[in-house]
Chain A
Amino acid sequence: MADLLANPWLRGLLQGALLITVMMTAVAWISWFERKFAGRVQSRLGPTMVGPSGLLQPLADALKMFQKQELIPSAADSLLFRLAPPLALFLALGGAAVLPITQGMLASDLDVGVLYVLAFSGLLAFPIWMAGWSSSNKYALLGGMRMVAQGISYEIPMVLAALVPVVVTGSLSLSDIVTYQATHHWLVLWPPGLGLIAFIIFFTMALAEGNRIPFDIPEAESELVAGPATEYTAIRFGLIASAEYVHSLITCAFASTLFLGGWDGPFLPPLCWILIKTVGLFVLITWLRWSLLRVRSDQLMALCWKYLVPLSLGILLLTGAFIQWVG
């Protein structure tokens, strides 16, 4: 057994399979939670029929998705149309590989973990654009274009905000960043004030990146049917939808790793802390989703380019100065 695990390829395969299973299961329950919460906000009950309090509803939904007929529009670009959903899920899941779950428990301790996660989630705009372009549907195309426009807006303040922990810890490796936070301060509190603002900017932009209200501009269901996913049916639609949930979840885990100390915390075991923080951020995202309205595309771009880019640049400069002169 130990010999087998010494084989890096086999070990990578096992780790990948485990991570994907865990993430997809988590996504199933999280979508259940979101539906339940949405129900309670709107004075409904949410899913109740499948399993106790509807807990098996995501499973039933997945089965339904697998059984449904798949339709590809005859005018669609068939290859891109088929390629987009699996690519979206692949890019969304990819980020999970470097997230430190507990001390020393992560699939791959990359030196450039922060860059890796940001690159993977930044690339997620591509499959969405592919889906929008290849569907040969005006709603899908508009959705895809909005995704690209949104992508070039949110990415810069997000990356600049994510650089604040990197500047403080002097490392791009996520496990180093968590270790720093476990031994020094959580980076949401350090440098005082600046860390909090960086966290808020990062989290706001994560909402835009995950296409969550108030920034769900690409799929705006009241304007664009389902945006780039309009023409998708059956499991292809399921892949796109689950990619968005996976991505939200990984962004939450990433934000709690960068700013909230990752697995660090008193009394409870590290695994509990990372779960509490990630789920807590996801609850906040869901809560925001059912409270706020959608902003317009130009409003998001104005927010990003006119306010958040200068603000995050300033924060980054001040953090550098803080590290240089205060410590």
Chain B
Amino acid sequence: MGYLTATVQALYSTLRQSLKKPTTVEYPKVVRPRAARLRGSFALLKDAAGDENCIGCKKCEKICPSDVIALTTVKKPSPVTGKSRGYASDFTLNLQGCIICELCVQVCPADAIVMVREQERPAFSREDLVLTMDRLYRNGENAERLAWATASILAETQDPERTCLKK
């Protein structure tokens, strides 16, 4: 008798489930709303005047646990203000080894490198997975794609008094 009632219960539960809307989303056609801090890919930002934020301090290169960031720095006058400061003359981020830990974003003193929410597309060749400086700045152009976390916002969230910066 227990077997019969269990059978009826099972039939009821599958019937109920089959009448519900499926959970599956047909991905390329439909894209689910993304989380505000989704770690998809990377971008480099420019300031409001169009000057590159990156000061070429190499902190991201140093902290990267999987050593996928490589940059060379150069000191040159800013094309906007004319003041001389550090710039990255070349910046590459190799996504093949990236573990998406976001440490480079957290450590950036100039809020230059951030993550974008757009999901990483699979690529046909290994070269396609290397983010060059051009691609990183292009990723930063569309603000809607950016995850909101920058280094200073993250530091403020952790430590609203910003005592760590005052020291």
- A residues near B (Cβ < 8 Å) are 37, 39-45, 48, 287-288, 290-292
Contact = CB atoms under 8 A, between A and B. Distances in A.
B24 interface: yes
Given A291-B11, A292-B10, A37 B18 contact: yes
A44 B11 contact: no
Minimum-distance CB pairs A-B, first 8: A291-B10, A40-B18, A291-B14, A43-B23, A45-B24, A41-B18, A41-B14, A291-B11
A48 B102 CA distance: 37
B14 A45 contact: no
Nearest to B23: A43
Contact of A44 (B14, B19, B24): B24
Contact of A290 (B14, B23, B24, B26): B14
Contact of A45 (B11, B17, B26): B26
B22 A45 contact: yes
Nearest to B20: A43
A36 to B, nearest CB: 10
A44 B10 CA distance: 18
Contacts of B26: 45, 48
A44 B22 contact: yes
A138 to B, nearest CB: 31
B7 interface: yes
Given A43-B22, A44-B23, A292-B10, 16 more contacts: A39-B22, A40-B17, A41-B17, A41-B18, A43-B17, A43-B20, A43-B23, A43-B24, A44-B24, A45-B22, A45-B24, A48-B26, A287-B14, A287-B15, A291-B13, A292-B7
A287 B11 contact: yes
Contacts, number: 36
Contacts of A41: 14, 17-18
Interface of B: 7, 10-11, 13-15, 17-20, 22-24, 26
Contacts of B11: 287-288, 291
Contact of B22 (A40, A287, A290, A291): A40
A48 B18 CA distance: 16
Contacts of B10: 291-292
B125 to A, nearest CB: 26
A51 to B, nearest CB: 15
13 contacts: A37-B18, A39-B22, A40-B19, A40-B20, A40-B22, A42-B17, A43-B24, A45-B24, A287-B14, A288-B11, A291-B10, A291-B13, A292-B7
Nearest to A290: B14
Contacts of A43: 17, 20, 22-24
A41 B20 CA distance: 9
Contacts of A40: 17-20, 22
Contacts of A42: 17
Contacts of A37: 18
Contacts of B15: 287
Contacts of B19: 40
Most buried by A among B18, B23, B26: B18
A291 B26 CA distance: 26
A48 B10 CA distance: 27
Contacts of A48: 26
A40 B24 CA distance: 10
A79 to B, nearest CB: 43
A164 B10 CA distance: 30
Contacts of A288: 11
